[in-house]
Amino acid sequence: MNEPLPTLAGPPRLASLDAYRGFIMLAMASGGLGLAALDEAYPDNAWARFLAFQSDHVAWVGCAFWDLIQPSFMFMVGVALPFSFASRKAKGDDDRAIFLHALWRSLLLILLGVFLSSNWQKPAPEPTTNWVFTNVLCQIGLGYPFLFLLRGRGLAVQLGTLVGLLAATTVAFGLYPADPAAWPKLEGWFAHWNKNANLGHAFDVWFLNLFPRPEPFVANNGGYATLNFVPSLATMLLGLMAGEMLLRETSLARRVLWLTSAGLVCLGLGAVAAETLAPLVKRLWTPSWALYSTGWTFLMLAGFHTIIEGVGWRAWAFPFVVVGMNSIAMYVMAQLLKPWVGQTLKIHLGTGPFDGPGGVVLLNAAVLLVLWLVCWWMYRRRLFLKI
């Protein structure tokens, strides 16, 4: 387990980006380690309550660490795009071939997202494809071609597009008739973002019913919407700006200052927007959420970049890099294999170690270790699943 981390040779591959991606992917795959069970067992323990809150999505308005997982995925897609483009150019691919590959990648991500969503649905008498597009893979796939077309357009065009995306989203939702009686009964202008009483919901009632389904689509239980890919493109676009800066900037101090400053500015703008333009709702990717959440992703990347590329402390990040370089493999395993791995552990180790709230946490940690070991095995054999 002392293999060296990847180095920045040729068209650079950032070890800090791989580590950040792996950290977020491990957090996702952990399922929160079942920490909610500790909160239920020890309701008066402040630490148990805090950890349980941070390891789950907020009900509607607000932000916990768990809500930052998807923004991190989308932000890192933007960061990685300039490096991927530079790598393919170095191999001799022309712009047309690279764009066609981007379209192919988008289609594969959407289809993989639909495939996984179809496996998540409850058993039905006649199982069928679940045509929904709200999971992170579909959202990335829907926005990726537009993101690719913004690569290399310059900061002015990219910032103008960013402002346009967020302004258009705000106006579009604001023009749709509000229902102040809908949960969570946001008032005034903010009522336009109540759950399943907004433009995104109305669009899905029309759009998703164009696909074959055993029963008509009525509402998304979580309040998520397909149209989230439009404002979430702003998150990927900010990541693209960061990636282009990291690719051209040679000074570590300037890179870290840029990332940190951008993070603080986005946090501030997001907080102001959450009080004035739109509530902070991850499930609808409101403009305030796009800015606020991306502020945290900037700061997290700045931290990883400073420690790994700057200070040179790399060995500690190896467990994260192993996963970050096989993020698709880990994502698919986490979505499809976790219940089977957990049941297998109980069969061979017995249920005793996994009883009680502490046992729930132990089981989740053990499942995560098994999935990590698969990624480590793939890493040692240089097997990397890519789209």
Whole-number Å distance between alpha carbons of 327 and 29: 10
The residues pairing with 61 across neighbouring beta strands, listed in sequence order, are: 281
Considering its fold, how many domains does the chain have in total? 1
CB 215 within 8 A of CB 238: no
pLDDT, tens digit, for every residue of 128-181? 899 999 999 999 999 999 999 999 999 999 999 999 999 999 999 999 999 999
Provide the token pair at 254: 């300037």
**pLDDT attached to residue 8:** 38
Q: Burial code of 210-227, b = ≥16 C-beta within 10 A, e = fewer?
A: eeeeeeebeebeebbbbb
What range defines the domain where residue 132 resides?
15-28+66-174+230-380
The DSSP 8-state label assigned to residue 384 in this structure reads -
Diameter over CA atoms, the chain = 62
Q: Which residues contact 24 (CB under 8 A, 6 or more apart)?
A: 69, 72, 73, 76
The DSSP 8-state label assigned to residue 61 in this structure reads B
Identify whether 312 is part of a domain. yes
pLDDT, tens digit, for every residue of 266-275? 999 999 999 9
CB neighbours of residue 18 within 10 Å: 25
Identify whether 8 is part of a domain. no
- Provide block-wise average pLDDT over 10 residues at a time, the chain (387 residues): 42 85 96 84 86 93 97 97 92 92 97 90 70 96 97 96 97 97 96 98 98 93 97 98 94 96 98 97 98 98 96 94 96 94 94 88 95 97 91
Q: What integer best gives the mean pLDDT of the chain? A: 93
187-196 long-range contacts, Cβ below 8 Å, gap at least 24?
190/278, 190/279, 192/278, 193/278, 193/279, 193/281, 193/284, 193/286, 195/60, 195/223, 195/283, 196/220, 196/223
**pLDDT attached to residue 387:** 84
Identify whether 70 is part of a domain. yes
Identify whether 206 is part of a domain. no
Identify whether 318 is part of a domain. yes
**pLDDT attached to residue 124:** 55
CB 97 within 8 A of CB 259: no
**pLDDT attached to residue 125:** 54
Measured over the CA atoms of residue 131, residue 279, residue 61 and residue 179, the dihedral's sign is negative
For the chain, the first-to-last Cα distance in angstroms comes to 27
Identify whether 196 is part of a domain. no
CB 343 within 8 A of CB 366: no
pLDDT, tens digit, for every residue of 314-358? 999 999 999 999 999 999 999 999 999 999 999 999 988 898 888
Identify whether 268 is part of a domain. yes
Whole-number Å distance between alpha carbons of 78 and 146: 11
Identify whether 210 is part of a domain. no
